[in-house]
Amino acid sequence: MGYEYDDQNIFAKILRGEIPNETRLETEHTLAFNDIDPKAPVHVLIIPKGPYVCYDHFASLATEAEIVDFTRSVADVCRMTGVAPGSGGEGYRAIANAGDHGVQEVPHYHLHIMGGRGMGPMISRQG
Ligand code: AMP
């Protein structure tokens, strides 16, 4: 059990500078960039620079410095993209997919920040 990090995943390649990205914010421990296939006018992915597979992996093992840096970066991205309600924005949805049931495609923890339009119902009731 536990998590094994695959350093060939696409976000690891972005972090190593092997493939390009549209950076929105970079800090010591965090990178935020535009999603390559945006599902909303604002669609930014926020990732820790450390090798964490998904949210609970990050939440379990990241240092306090990494967690604080990541969390403050989320606030900065929400403000800078204009979606933060506290800064005059109309809101956003934050999503972290994990594993098979969460339909996670890229096995490097990332938080989706999506907004710029109404995001609709949270999830459909099915199966
Ligand atoms: P998830 O299903 O939560 O793992 O979502 C992965 C997200 O990564 C999708 O929204 C993709 O559009 C996005 N994505 C995949 N490759 C890239 C890339 N090279 N640059 C930016 N976003 C990407």
Average pLDDT, the chain: 97
Per the DSSP assignment, residues forming a β-bridge with 32 are: 25, 46
Provide mean pLDDT across the span 74-92. 98
* 123 domain-assigned: no
CA-based torsion, 60, 61, 64, 68: positive or negative: negative
* 125 domain-assigned: no
Query: Quick one: pLDDT at residue 68?
Result: 98
* 22 domain-assigned: yes
Q: In what order do the strands lie in the sheet with 92-95?
A: 23-26, 30-34, 42-48, 111-115, 92-95
Probe residue for ligand 1, chosen from 21, 22, 45 as the CB with the greatest number of ligand atoms within 8 Å: 45
Query: Quick one: pLDDT at residue 110?
Result: 98
pLDDT band at 20 (very low <50, low <70, confident <90, very high): very high
- 105 Cβ below 6 A of ligand 1: yes
- 21 Cβ below 6 A of ligand 1: yes
Q: Which residues span the domain enclosing 105?
A: 10-115
* 72 domain-assigned: yes
Ligand 1 atom at minimum distance from 14 CA? 19
Q: How many residues does the chain have?
A: 127
- 36 Cβ below 6 A of ligand 1: yes
* 127 domain-assigned: no
pLDDT band at 125 (very low <50, low <70, confident <90, very high): confident
- 64: CA distance to ligand 1 center in Å? 26
Q: CA-to-CA distance for 127 and 61, rounded, in angstroms?
A: 33
pTM: 0.97
Ligand 1 atom at minimum distance from 103 CA? 2
We report the CATH number of the domain holding residue 102 as 3.30.428.10
> Taking 80 as the threshold, does the pLDDT of residue 99 lie above it?
yes
pLDDT band at 111 (very low <50, low <70, confident <90, very high): very high
Provide mean pLDDT across the span 14-31. 98
> Taking 80 as the threshold, does the pLDDT of residue 127 lie above it?
no
Count how many domains the chain has: 1
